[in-house]
Amino acid sequence: MHLYLLSFLLPFFIGFISPSSSSAPYPPSPVITNLEWAPKSSIQRMASGSDNFPITWGDDDSLYTAYGDGNGFKPNVPQKLSLGFARIDGPPTNISAANIRSSQEQTGQGSAGKKASGMLMVDGVLYMWMRNADNNGHKCQLAWSTDHAQTWTFADWKFDEFGYCTFINYGQNYAGAPDGFVYTVTPDSPSAYEPSDGFILFRAPQGDLFNRDAYQYYAGEDDNGEPIWTIDIEERDYNFYHPDGALRSGISYNAPLGRYIWWQQLPNLDDDKPEDTRFDGGFGVYDAPQPWGPWTTVYFTDFWDVGPGETGSFPTKWMSPDGLTMNLVFSGEDSFSVRRATLTVAPQATLPNVVSEEHNQPPPPLDSPLPPPQLNSPLPPPADNQTGSAASNVPDQPQSPLPTPTETLPPPPPTETLAPQPPTIAPTMPPLPTATLTPTVPLSATVPLTPTAMAPITEAQQVSETLQGPSVAPSPTVIMPLPVAASTNPLALLLRSETLILGMLCLIFFAVTMLGFGA
């Protein structure tokens, strides 16, 4: 009887002393002090039954995206696709969308089918990162289209080391990019379904994305806080550290604020499908002045008021001229979903001088110790008119004309606004430093990650309108100390230990009392 009571009460004490909630991996943003979401009743939803939706701003002012595991937008395609394409037009309050039929559409449910994880248009060429490139949930592969997603050419190589690559998006047709490179971020994992401990940043010249040897990998910072780039993929280092929290994400540049905005899924570690947060879960929104940081937290939640989806990003076309209004595109409820976010900026924050009549001015150049890229490299000639080529490994399929957009949504009725939701930050996080610090755990090319994290990975292991960039120099890059998980903080451990002792004493007292009654 006594053992039965103890076994019944013990889980409650364990749940009390071991909370499952997590905290943000970085301190609060010194620039964006609050993010307020529009009411959930205002969310626009389309393409029910489909997900993914990486998105970019095209040269023709349309947004281009790709969907997966569904039939796309209305009128729906007859066959469920693992990879389908679509064009989005209009403002975020009155969207119209149309499927783009392509000979490179893919089939295959879940990890068994190729899907898009990144989308970017540069100089009229649409680039796409595909995940599940091995049709088994692993590897990334590049593809490009010169006719707005109707036909595609696939690279004849893949990244075995990475499973979920996604581009950093700037303005329309890549306007406002800071230099001649295209930047990509990815979890440091070959899988699109298993979280890793951090994200990797790499880049290639704009005209040479199809050349595997042209890629350079972020390898930490030097003594002056400048990024180190290496052509050796084994020397790569994290540009964002989040133990067991790096999985799917979307990143874009808010030019009026001069900040990179990075949406990151919070993996559901308590589920056998940590990547599936379409119907419930959390995420973080982080910002930084440069793609390599220093990163800070704008918004963080373990459990959003609606399903956050497994992917999300803020299209630059749907950012306001002052940068204070953005719209999140996410796959919540297994649909193309859009929700407005309103930002509050710190009064003391130094922001670019935004003049709405002057657009497409790039941010200050990003320092690069490597030679400047050659931008006159032509695209490789497509074989067989880019369809069914040996490079694509995709059979020819009949091509249908672009349907007239019919799936449209009316503007939502005005409703109440949600109360501000400041980011939840671990109290143990130090304030953002104002001077160069010596990192407690150096991240550099000379101090690589642990062998477990950085060992060679085998195959078996499976930007509203065109925006103006800052007219002032960015803040100097600060070398940030490696964030310490809340569970390893001494104060947190002490409190947890005291709570554990108190709980055990209560258990002993309860047991002795029950034994006395029994006697």
**pLDDT tens digits along 109-121:** 889 999 999 999 9
Q: Report yes or no on 95 lying in a domain.
A: yes
CA angle 422, 254, 475 (to 5 degrees): 85
pLDDT at residue 408, as a whole number = 66
* Cβ burial 366-387 (10 Å sphere, 16+ → b, else e): bebeeeebeeeeeeeebeeebb
Encode pLDDT of 138-169 as tens digits: 999 999 999 999 999 999 999 999 999 999 99
- Percent of the chain topping pLDDT 70: 62
| Bridge partners for 121 per DSSP | 126
pLDDT at residue 443, as a whole number = 35
For the residues 417-445, what does the mean pLDDT come to? 41
**Is residue 244 classed as helix, strand or coil in its secondary structure?**
strand
230: left (phi over 0), alpha (psi -120 to 50) or beta: beta
- Residue 508 CA to residue 236 CA, distance in Å, equals 52
How many domains does the chain contain in total? 1
With tokens 């364990």, the residue in question is 14
Encode pLDDT of 463-493 as tens digits: 333 333 433 334 343 334 434 333 344 444 4
Higher-pLDDT residue of 348 and 371 is: 348
- Asked if the model's pLDDT at residue 370 lies above 90, the reply is no
> Following DSSP, what letter does each residue of 186-213 receive, concatenated?
EESSSBSSS-EEEEEEEEEEGGGTT-GG
Tokens for 422?
């400041």
pLDDT at residue 279, as a whole number = 83
Encode pLDDT of 80-124 as tens digits: 999 999 999 999 999 999 999 999 999 988 899 999 999 999 999
pLDDT at residue 349, as a whole number = 80
Q: Report yes or no on 440 lying in a domain.
A: yes
Q: 214: Cβ–Cβ under 8 A, 6 or more apart, which residues?
A: 204, 205, 208, 373
Q: Report yes or no on 485 lying in a domain.
A: no
**Is residue 13 classed as helix, strand or coil in its secondary structure?**
helix
pTM: 0.69
| Bridge partners for 485 per DSSP | none
Q: Report yes or no on 494 lying in a domain.
A: no
Q: Report yes or no on 8 lying in a domain.
A: no
**Is residue 49 classed as helix, strand or coil in its secondary structure?**
coil
Helices (H) and strands (E) in the chain, counts: 3, 24
Q: Report yes or no on 239 lying in a domain.
A: yes
Q: Report yes or no on 371 lying in a domain.
A: no
Q: Report yes or no on 487 lying in a domain.
A: no
- Asked if the model's pLDDT at residue 231 lies above 90, the reply is yes
For the residues 247-274, what does the mean pLDDT come to? 89
pLDDT at residue 501, as a whole number = 59
pLDDT at residue 28, as a whole number = 97
Q: Which domain holds residue 22?
A: 16-348+382-454
Q: For position 300, which CATH number holds?
A: 2.115.10
- Residue 274 CA to residue 24 CA, distance in Å, equals 18
Tokens for 270?
């308590």
pLDDT at residue 16, as a whole number = 35
- Residue 160 CA to residue 115 CA, distance in Å, equals 16
